[in-house]
Structure 1
Amino acid sequence: MEKINYIKAVIITVFGGIGSFFVKMIGGWTPDLTTLLILMGLDFGMGLLIAAIWKKSGKSKTGALNSVSSWKGLCRKGITLTIVLIAYRLDLTLKVDYIRTAVILAFLVNELISIVENAGIMGIPLPRVLIKAIDVLKEKSSTEGE
């Protein structure tokens, strides 16, 4: 039993160290980062629910749960955090303190839109003003990408 507790303590210490290092690398634990991580988790969880229960996922042919789609979603979330890391490093390089925050806010908007879309797929009635705001944001982002 003592050996199991030792192994558990080592694993927890290793993961804690890696997590602390990563958080330090992306500029520390701040309320905006906490909010982003919460919204990322909610979006991912809602995506799993849509696929598993409603079977309406646009990520697979059948609309059902798909491990490849889940993995791609997690990879996208990881790349999002990598871009936050890059933004923080740019802040340090340019001796400013707004790039990371701006990037996090942009990703927050993206996650919010995705969560609202997921709620719509689940059949949760959405206020018209919210739907119109999302349409405006989508239109703006598609015309800026051209």
Structure 2
Amino acid sequence: MKNVLCTTAGVVGSFIASLFGGWDTGIATLLLFMGIDFFSGLAVAGIFKNSTKTETGALESRAGFKGLCRKCMILLFVLIAYRLDLAIGTNYIRDAVIIGFIANELISITENAGLMGIPLPGVLTKAIDVLKKKAVTE
């Protein structure tokens, strides 16, 4: 039974990884950063009660669910980018999308660290503010 479960998990995992263009450093890093961002967001809301996603700043299941939906959408963009690469015979669209979302997750992780009270360098705080303002105006 153990071998059947391990084999089934391996086959399913391989199939899912192949949908996203394989398991490489880019996708592994993106998934790692997504996990860190999600759990640091849970800590900001659950422990520090300082979330910007809820009125009270506390943990709220609806906000957590919205965050998970956003993470799923990011993975769908990676899937779409990989399929575009296959369709037009290139191999850089997926990597560009992954790098862009890794940068976005890193900004969010940094924001969560700031909400936890970790002192951030002024340059980093200003850079995040500039990126947020650009995202709002575009």
Q: Give the TM-score of the pair, scaled to structure 2.
A: 0.90
Q: How many Å apart are 1:12 and its aligned residue?
A: 4.4
* Superposed displacement of residue 73, structure 1: 1.2
Radius of gyration: which is bigger? Answer: 1
The equivalent residue for 2:130 is 136
Q: Secondary structure at the match of 1:78?
A: helix
- Tell me how many residue pairs correspond in the alignment: 138
Q: 1:24 to 1:65 in 2, by over 3 A?
A: same
Greater than 3 Å deviation, 4+ residue runs: 8-16
Residue 89 of structure 1 pairs with residue 73 of structure 2: no
Report the secondary structure of 2:47's partner residue.
helix
Which residue does 2:74 correspond to in 1?
80
Q: CA RMSD in A?
A: 1.6
The partner residue of 2:100 within 95, 106, 115 is 106
Q: What are the superposed Cα offsets for residues 68-91 of structure 1, whole Å, 9 maximum, x if unpaired?
A: 222221121111011100000000
Deviations 1:85-122 (A, max 9, x none): 00000000010111001101110111011011101100
* Aligned-pair CA distance for 1:64: 1.6
The sequence identity of aligned pairs, in percent, is 57
Deviation of 1:58 (Å): 2.2
The CA deviation at 1:16 is 3.2
Q: CA 1:73–1:11 in structure 2 vs 1: closer, same or farther (change >3 Å)?
A: farther
